[in-house]
Amino acid sequence: MGCRIHLLAGVGFDSNVYLIEDEKIALIDAGTGRLHDALMENVRERGVDPEDIELLINTHCHYDHTGGDHKLSEATGCRVLIHELEQRVLEEGDNVLSCAVLFGERLRPVRVHRALRENDLIELGALALRVLHTPGHTAGSICLHDPDRGVLFTGDTVFTDGVGRTDLPTGSASELVASLKRLNQLKVRELYPGHGPPNDRDPRRSLRSALDFLLTQHTIE
């Protein structure tokens, strides 16, 4: 059985949500939760029963990606995963580190079932996602990579046309440079960012130009 990756595109401030249909069904990121009912409907329209969603993998702790975790885990019984450095943010509902305050919202605490670390493997079936710890946008930001298929989920680390901001709590431009250098070494055919359209034509261009942009910024500073 192959796998299918559906983009449930973010509306407004909401992050993209990716629905992965494989032997296991997983979501990557949850959006703010503001559009929870529409998201569930969207999942059903893809022929997936929300109750079959096993995993919700968060790329990082920001509210636009995790605000929906609470409702999703209640509605579907899915397990919640995030990098170990940001587990506490979700479990305590930290409104500052999650940036919920910037959205004028509060993060509802949610239990984390699995704290992720560098090089962990999340096996979904045809797709096996390797956890890459890529700090810079936040300290616990991760990317998820399947080297065989060349699939890379990047959260807010890098977009098809742009790079993550580093001026929010725990952000670091120098760490983001190091993370992007690392991502530029990977085999990538399809790039799935946390906002905006995916890039399955020339993802190396996205990775290259994001790094070039950051390096230019650093020279100017």
Decide: is 29 part of the binding site for Zn ion (CB under 5 A). Answer: no
Smallest gap from residue 139 Cβ to Zn ion (A): 12
The smaller minimum CB distance to Zn ion, of residues 55 and 163, is found at 163
Smallest gap from residue 1 Cβ to Zn ion (A): 31
Q: Select the span of 11-19, 32-40, 107-115, 143-151 touching Zn ion (CB under 5 A).
A: 11-19
The smaller minimum CB distance to Zn ion, of residues 64 and 94, is found at 64
**Alpha-carbon distance 198 to 201, whole Å?**
9
Smallest gap from residue 142 Cβ to Zn ion (A): 12
Decide: is 64 part of the binding site for Zn ion (CB under 5 A). Answer: yes
Decide: is 83 part of the binding site for Zn ion (CB under 5 A). Answer: no
The smaller minimum CB distance to Zn ion, of residues 14 and 21, is found at 14
- Dihedral sign for Cα atoms in the order 204, 202, 172, 63: negative
First to last CA, the chain: 50
**Alpha-carbon distance 219 to 137, whole Å?**
19
Smallest gap from residue 14 Cβ to Zn ion (A): 9
Q: Which of residues 162-201 bind Zn ion (CB under 5 A)?
A: 194
Q: Which of residues 140-159 bind Zn ion (CB under 5 A)?
A: 156
Decide: is 62 part of the binding site for Zn ion (CB under 5 A). Answer: yes
Number of residues that bind Zn ion (CB under 5 A): 5
Residue ranges binding Zn ion (CB under 5 A): 15, 62, 64, 156, 194
